[in-house]
Amino acid sequence: MTGVNGLSDSTIVLYRHLDQSLASSTALTAIPEPRTVHKSLEELITRLGFCEPTEENPSLFLFIVTISRMLSYHVYGKDSSSTPMVVDEIGCGLGCVMMG
């Protein structure tokens, strides 16, 4: 499992293999290091959502919607990225986007 957290300053941090780390140890030192995926003081994060892997596409994507644009972060799989890519230059307000 991959954990993601959006903070109040519009920073998004990602924890890889969080459930395995917690299940294998009771020490807090077992928690994996977070990776900062996105940070912007100007853009309010309005929605986060994962696109789960399928047989046709075994990659995991995190979609980040802000008030001014939509981003896609390739979490793992072939050609995973280190920075989010812009999907659309149009964003969405808080509570106005649905992910299916």
pLDDT tens-place string over residues 11-67: 888 877 666 566 666 666 667 777 888 888 888 888 888 888 889 888 888 999 999
Residue 96, in any domain of the structure: no
Count of structural domains within the chain: 1
* 97 part of a folded domain: no
What Å distances lie between residue 32 and 11, 83, 89, CA to CA?
18, 19, 33
Cα–Cα dist 42/88, whole Å:
17
- Would residue 26 count as lying in a domain? yes
Domain residues for the domain of 79 are: 3-88
